Chain A
């Protein structure tokens, strides 16, 4: 072997050694990096990926939530803070009854039971109201947090708590302790609901402010509206005259208000102008210097700037989770008495229509303590019963739908705004928003005398919302729980401010009534509250309608009361309560209910139940004869004639198996489009800014009312001619065109015989999980109903808003009978047999007896000891 070969061999060997060492080093580095990354991600999570190690640890992680999914059994539990033993019993369906020695213990036990079955829901709702959703859900929830912190549910709740006294204060404190007792027990056992272990964001201790925030969330969902913002955009595009004509204060169609007068005209009740602004001991507050300079001054009477700000705010609202602000008006509550009721006495039926979710917004329970005996549905997070009965009275609620949101275009210079002839400093609140998987966001909220500035567009827009006025609504509700007659009921509700609600009433003496307490904000007559108003002071809220003048009825001669979100008063009512667009129901359900109830007297629980489950579309009942008349003179194809024969034999029922129902609904949408869409296109209405509030469709109730009224009484209205004069020209011509369009569309979509186009094919109901988790909701399932039916289905063809609770209470011959049902179950745990067990009953129109206060609800019993 030569020298050269020897050298080459050594070189090769060295190269192999070096290469092997390099590979070893790289391998070690890679192993370290991969192991470190794996342990890091598993231990701490990454971005929105949760810390999967502890989350999926089979001994301690989210698997332990299975314990909350097992059927409840009888047991003895330690609940600190109780002054005496408490018994909680459950029916086999999960309906609960609490028996305690005093009201402190009953509310403490209620908090404990709510948390036991709904802790995730309660935490999620308080996070929503307090602007802390992004900490749980990541950047996608940031828009919601920013909106809520600007609007100020937390500031309002803190203000309310500072003012809360008496029974409400005691109830909130006891309730919070009950919730915290459960949180402590769960923490000790480690069996958290899965959402906490998956996210690593465990619930903070519960406080009375949290309960008041949840009350605020419910108020916002029922009461915060965008009507003036939509109107500003409509007025800029369609013009002021046409906007006021098509979106009038009083609807064009026939209405059936429950309070027909005579009305009381009394001086307004003043509202302190600035109570919604600041938070005692809350966020950091600084005061800007008056007269500061440096920023552009924008006049608040610049219509284009106002409309731009409206569009920007609508854009922000469009990013919120569904149903965070009020969208659909669909609740029912009826009462009848005397000769209208079988055997005399009184009957009350109530079915509030809200987003139908799993778990439900409701928890069904009976509460019993000396002097406090009440049963019905409660809201997890709040003490007391919101809808229900005691031994003497029963009540249910519908949303009054009055306009309680006022927008103000503020004139701003630097950190100041112009109000009543002078520049004033804005209050500034600063917040930090933790974002899971993202950087913490800092938010500054400017507040004027009207309320918080909601948009930072060239034109600043402040909102004065009655839900931000601190009030003792909980105290009012707890007093209602204990009322024994209408006088006490009425006195109790004097403290109820927001949301304004129709409280429908019946009692064991056979009396019925309805009262709509709440703050109805009034402005000077020269102002236009249906639009954003100037913030200079000229159009400030001057007060609210005095309590003695709010809509109300007691023992009417007709022996019937119907509320279904219709305008509660006639045009003679001496106060402004909102326009047809902002935002009353078109009145079809109310009119049908009056007709049905009066034609089925004497009424019983079963006839009320039949109406609650009724699917008749009252608009179809009014308009279809005109359509058939128009089609009778038109030249139709054979397939069109077969569709006409379907309609001729239809009973106006939006049943899942009805093909005529599909034709009707498609026709009505096409009829609206045929008449209004050309105007919208010509005027360039920015529908994208708020599809629900600006888009032509059945949800824009003013257009439903206009078209119905024109069809029946003004078939040559100028609207039928279209913006360029090339439209159908009349209602009959427009109806025929829309009918043909509907038949063409349905033939192309479903094919086959028209009789196969059943309503259950395009239309369904869905009860999504509140976390939006796939597979944890119910449905979509083919279903009947539409927004105009008593058994309403709203929110689109896959409806997710409708009767969230059905209740019937009868007082007859000294006996009280109460039944109810809601679509869901008492437990939020998807693994629990009580997660969806009530859905089949609700779906089939069945009811369960409400648990009786003071009696055992069923075979499962918890003994709670301090």
Chain B
């Protein structure tokens, strides 16, 4: 193995050792926290919060790569939560989704609106994370 490759491999190993290992519970709590923030702000009309979550995740991902995945999961769950609550309250969420799809000129199926809605949350996170990672200087070991 060339000298430089050995050095790089050693660097990665030491960096991995340096990062705290996130237990599964930590990931779950992280997703729940992001979901809660995104859901509450969605009720307040702040539709762009998933993007902000993505920026935060992008910053954090410079140290913890999986933060972006966590943020995506949290944002999607956060936007799904109000829909779920709507259905639990007995409101016709499926029929409303179908109506929205029809009015928007999309195929009139409930799944279409639900997928598009959740996709918007995910897209915002990814765009935000990309922006953060692109603008911030990367650590030397990256």
Q: Do A and B come from one complex?
A: yes
Q: Which of B86, B116, B131 contacts A31 (CB 8 A)?
A: B131
Contact of B120 with A65 in the complex, beta carbons under 8 Å: no
Report how far A830 CA is from B97 CA in the complex, Å: 10
Contact of A35 with B51 in the complex, beta carbons under 8 Å: yes
Contact of A38 with B86 in the complex, beta carbons under 8 Å: no
Report how far A530 CA is from B65 CA in the complex, Å: 79
Closest Cβ neighbor of A769 among chain B residues? B102
Q: Which of B48, B82, B92, B123 contacts A831 (CB 8 A)?
A: B92
Report how far A830 CA is from B109 CA in the complex, Å: 13
Q: How near does chain A come to B121, taking the closest CB pair, in angstroms?
A: 9
Contact of B103 with A56 in the complex, beta carbons under 8 Å: no
Closest Cβ neighbor of B108 among chain A residues? A775
A775 cross-chain contacts in B, Cβ below 8 A: 98, 101-102, 107-109
Given that A56-B117, A65-B99, A769-B102 are contacting pairs, would A35 and B91 also be in contact in the complex, using a CB cutoff of 8 Å? Answer: no
Contact of A60 with B48 in the complex, beta carbons under 8 Å: no
Closest Cβ neighbor of A49 among chain B residues? B104
Contact of A66 with B96 in the complex, beta carbons under 8 Å: yes
Task: Convert B124-140 into 0s and 1s, putting 1 for each residue whose CB lies closer than 8 angstroms to a CB of A.
Answer: 10011011011100000
Q: Contact residue range for chain A? A: 35 or more
Q: How near does chain B come to A740, taking the closest CB pair, in angstroms?
A: 43
**A24 interface residue per 8 A CB criterion:** yes
Contact of A69 with B92 in the complex, beta carbons under 8 Å: yes
Closest Cβ neighbor of B80 among chain A residues? A58
Interface residues of A in 759-797 (CB under 8 A from B): 769, 771, 773-776
Given that A27-B134, A31-B130, A42-B47 are contacting pairs, would A773 and B102 also be in contact in the complex, using a CB cutoff of 8 Å? Answer: yes
The stretch of B1-9, B15-23, B24-32, B38-46 that contacts the partner chain: B38-46
Closest Cβ neighbor of A777 among chain B residues? B102
**A632 interface residue per 8 A CB criterion:** no
Contact of A50 with B99 in the complex, beta carbons under 8 Å: no
Q: How near does chain A come to B114, taking the closest CB pair, in angstroms?
A: 10
Interface residue count on the B side (C-beta < 8 Å) = 47
Task: Convert B74-102 into 0s and 1s, putting 1 for each residue whose CB lies closer than 8 angstroms to a CB of A.
Answer: 00000111110010001111011111111
Report how far A24 CA is from B44 CA in the complex, Å: 36
Contact of A53 with B120 in the complex, beta carbons under 8 Å: yes
A195 cross-chain contacts in B, Cβ below 8 A: 103
**A343 interface residue per 8 A CB criterion:** no
Report how far A773 CA is from B112 CA in the complex, Å: 15
Given that A54-B47, A69-B91, A830-B98 are contacting pairs, would A773 and B108 also be in contact in the complex, using a CB cutoff of 8 Å? Answer: yes
Report how far A135 CA is from B10 CA in the complex, Å: 63
Closest Cβ neighbor of B84 among chain A residues? A58
Contact of A194 with B130 in the complex, beta carbons under 8 Å: no
Given that A31-B135, A69-B96, A70-B90 are contacting pairs, would A59 and B42 also be in contact in the complex, using a CB cutoff of 8 Å? Answer: yes
Given that A42-B124, A63-B86 are contacting pairs, would A831 and B130 also be in contact in the complex, using a CB cutoff of 8 Å? Answer: no
Contact of A63 with B83 in the complex, beta carbons under 8 Å: yes
Contact of A53 with B47 in the complex, beta carbons under 8 Å: yes
Report how far A34 CA is from B135 CA in the complex, Å: 13
Contact of B48 with A53 in the complex, beta carbons under 8 Å: yes
Contact of A58 with B108 in the complex, beta carbons under 8 Å: no
Q: How near does chain B come to A39, taking the closest CB pair, in angstroms?
A: 6
Closest Cβ neighbor of B132 among chain A residues? A31
Q: How near does chain A come to B7, taking the closest CB pair, in angstroms?
A: 16
Q: How near does chain A come to B74, taking the closest CB pair, in angstroms?
A: 14
Q: How near does chain A come to B5, taking the closest CB pair, in angstroms?
A: 16
Q: How near does chain A come to B93, taking the closest CB pair, in angstroms?
A: 6
Given that A24-B134, A194-B99 are contacting pairs, would A60 and B90 also be in contact in the complex, using a CB cutoff of 8 Å? Answer: no
B44 cross-chain contacts in A, Cβ below 8 A: 59-60
Report how far A24 CA is from B142 CA in the complex, Å: 13
Given that A38-B124, A195-B103, A774-B102 are contacting pairs, would A58 and B83 also be in contact in the complex, using a CB cutoff of 8 Å? Answer: yes
A198 cross-chain contacts in B, Cβ below 8 A: 100, 103-104
B104 cross-chain contacts in A, Cβ below 8 A: 50, 198
Q: Which of A59, A67, A69, A774 contacts B82 (CB 8 A)?
A: A59
Closest Cβ neighbor of A50 among chain B residues? B104
Contact of A57 with B42 in the complex, beta carbons under 8 Å: yes
**A300 interface residue per 8 A CB criterion:** no
Report how far A63 CA is from B86 CA in the complex, Å: 9
Since A39-B51, A39-B127 are in contact, a sample of 18 more A-B pairs with Cβ atoms closer than 8 Å, ordered by chain A residue number, is A35-B131, A39-B48, A42-B48, A42-B120, A53-B48, A54-B45, A58-B42, A58-B81, A59-B39, A65-B100, A69-B95, A194-B96, A773-B103, A774-B107, A775-B101, A830-B95, A830-B102, A831-B92
The 9 closest A-B CB pairs, nearest first, are A775-B108, A831-B95, A59-B43, A59-B42, A31-B134, A57-B47, A773-B102, A830-B99, A58-B82
- Give 30 A-B contacts (CB < 8 Å), ordered by A residue: A31-B131, A34-B127, A34-B130, A38-B51, A42-B120, A56-B116, A56-B120, A57-B47, A58-B42, A58-B80, A58-B81, A59-B42, A59-B44, A59-B45, A59-B82, A62-B96, A63-B82, A65-B96, A66-B96, A70-B91, A194-B96, A195-B103, A775-B108, A775-B109, A776-B99, A829-B99, A830-B95, A830-B98, A830-B99, A831-B99
The chain A residues found within 8 Å of chain B, CB to CB, are 24, 27-28, 30-32, 34-35, 38-39, 42-43, 50, 52-54, 56-63, 65-67, 69-70, 190, 194-195, 198, 769, 771, 773-776, 829-832
The chain B residues found within 8 Å of chain A, CB to CB, are 39, 41-48, 51, 79-83, 86, 90-93, 95-105, 107-109, 113, 116-117, 120, 123-124, 127-128, 130-131, 133-135
